[in-house]
Structure 1
Amino acid sequence: MTPTPALLLCLALTQSEPPPASVLEYSGPMSEESGAVDREEIQFTAFAPGQLLYLGVDEANLRATAAADGARVQTLMLGTPVRVMAAGARATVGEYVNAWYQVSVVDAQAPQGTAPVTGWLFGNTLTPFRFEADLDGDGELEVATVVMSNEFKARVRVLEPNVKPPRRVSSVDVDVASTVYGGGRGGPVDVKLLPAKKAGVPLLQLDSAPERCGDFVTSYVSYTGTGGKKGVLGKARLALVLGGLKDPPNESTFKVSFQAAKKQVLVTRTSIEEEEGQPQKVTERKVYQWQDGEYAEVKKPASPDAVSEVKP
């Protein structure tokens, strides 16, 4: 896809700015020659001293120094809260480019006056997104986190605290919208928890969009158990993916309405395309029904007005 002049201006403005700390980002432009991402051009979200973060991977070793072979201070479990003390320089560890962070472990059960455990963690293991909720309806609280994978995707992990390792975490990867429209990998992601009261079932909503223009995507992740049995690892699933586009004058946007009692989702999509110098607006409505951890499209409209409209 060839970017329009209006979009090229958007890209130039967007790429000049660092990723905001309120979202997670791991992205980079692809080389036209090799088709791979240049490690020197990779962008990642930088965390600030004083920021509260969480361990977003199954387990990670807190190191005494900012090095992968540094002495192990303590092994931390997914969801462990830490406070950033200082940030190191840009570095490469394995397949990741990020920075080392000196952190202190937040332990609410530590005796008053006890000095917190401190050490170093690499940035790809850290996340601002941690959720604790009964995601599978078994009466127990699961812990969910989101980090960026080395494949430039958002990786959702769900931990069953009462299941013994190594089979206590289920994960699923979610595509994100590229900040380099048509020529990059990875991008930003923001995450929130939708309670069952709102959506019919608990869902993680992942929103990914460039700040100004290009592709954008909203994904919903579910976690289903085994008939309400406690102490059993369930499965994280990609329940529904909705993609859109802002490429002036062309545009495709959507509005999502949950019908919690029916466990349904109504998606109203509005598309604008220019034909012979005139914008054409198309509105389409689709209904999706919850089925075993995913949403399936209902072919028959839920109501008489659930039809497509074409407007000049």
Structure 2
Amino acid sequence: MTPALLLSLALSQSPELELELHYTATSLEEGEDASKRTLDTYDFTQFEPSAKKADLYVGVDEANLRQSPGADAAVVTTLPLGAPVRVLERGKERLKVGEYVNHWYQVEYTDGKGAAFKGWLFGNTLTPFRLEGDFDNDGEQEVATVVMSSDFKIRVRVLEPNVKPPRRVSSVDITPAGQGYMSVDGGSAKVTLVAGKTAGLALVQVDSVPEACSDYSTTYVSYTVPGGKKGVLGKAKLALEVAGLADPPNHSSYKVSFQPKQQGLTVVRTNVEEDESGKEVKTTERTKYKLADGVFSEVKASGATAETKP
């Protein structure tokens, strides 16, 4: 089985992974001023109008829905993190608002009482990724979203539903893979929910896999509240980060296996490279991790086993 196939199998845990969010710009030379970037050096996910009731979500908290496509336009209403919206129209021009480059989108939102609102949101606030789960095991459902930040990070936010704004959201940033290989800042994200019964606690799984020869990664994000108290804002954390490489003739893949009853997991890493004689050398290493306070820490690594093929 090839490393590419191993990677495909490892990432095919959920149909949600078919969705992708990306935000990049051409890398700057050392000391180069970011303000000199032109709008056409940015590449980002563009959303299309939809006939569905709602197919996207608000990825930030307290997003202002505006009457017209402008940062100073009147506010129609304010939307919470995770609010479902339907895209009616995408603005024709890409614009810079604050530190973001994107389009304005006209959207429709229906609140919990059935009242419908139409207005405009800037594209950086929208995401296809909204996850709901009891991340902190307090019996209540939290909401998590994933967006790309203005400084080209993958930002995971978790909202505690029974805490009032403005301090009801905890966030953590992930560095996208492939930046050095592709000479860009930023990258892509594919997202799925790992259930608590699978991992011992619910996790947001973020895969950053460029469509080119480069490094790639899987990151798990946890959300914990000390003592499991209800109505208290917890903390989103990087529970585990694992990385691989697809750069022929060198390949590195990984497989994560959870042991929920033991509150741990095992990562099996497989590296394939050529030696000086052109022979393929395959090494495998198994590492065990233990879960504590929402973070998986290494407790034991086996010695690497090597196999050489002509």
The letter of the residue matching 2:133 is: A
| Aligned residue in 2 for 1:79 | 82
| Aligned residue in 1 for 2:304 | 308
Shift in CA distance, 287/36, structure 1 to aligned 2, threshold 3 Å: farther
| Aligned residue in 2 for 1:32 | 29
Shift of 1:228: 1.7
Shift of 1:21: 8.8
Deviations 1:111-151 (A, max 9, x none): xxx6x210000000111111111110111111111110011
The letter of the residue matching 1:308 is: A
Deviations 1:184-224 (A, max 9, x none): 21111011110111111110000001123211010000000
Question: Separation in 1 of the partners of 2:275 and 2:285?
Answer: 19
| Aligned residue in 2 for 1:249 | 249
SS at match of 2:57: strand
Question: Separation in 2 of the partners of 1:241 and 1:260?
Answer: 18
Identity %: 55
Tell me if the contact between 1:146 and 1:157 (Cα under 8 Å) persists in the aligned partners: yes
Question: Separation in 1 of the partners of 2:187 and 2:25?
Answer: 8
Tell me if the contact between 2:18 and 2:190 (Cα under 8 Å) persists in the aligned partners: no
Shift of 1:29: 2.0
Which runs of no fewer than 5 residues in structure 2 stay unpaired? 1-16
Deviations 1:265-299 (A, max 9, x none): 11000111222122211111101110111011012
| Aligned residue in 2 for 1:123 | 123
Question: Separation in 2 of the partners of 1:21 and 1:278?
Answer: 36
TM-score, length basis structure 1: 0.87
SS at match of 1:170: strand
The letter of the residue matching 2:170 is: S
- 1:107 aligns to 2:107 (yes or no): no
TM-score, length basis structure 2: 0.87
The letter of the residue matching 2:174 is: V
The alignment covers a number of residue pairs equal to 284
The letter of the residue matching 1:174 is: I
Question: Separation in 1 of the partners of 2:82 and 2:244?
Answer: 32
Alignment map for 1:1-312 (pairs within 5 Å): 22-32=19-29, 34-35=31-32, 38-40=37-39, 41-50=41-50, 52-88=55-91, 89-107=93-111, 109-110=113-114, 116-178=116-178, 181=181, 183-276=183-276, 277-299=278-300, 306-312=302-308
Deviations 1:229-261 (A, max 9, x none): 111001100010001110010111101111111
Question: Separation in 2 of the partners of 1:123 and 1:34?
Answer: 29
Shift of 1:166: 1.6
Question: Separation in 2 of the partners of 1:39 and 1:138?
Answer: 47
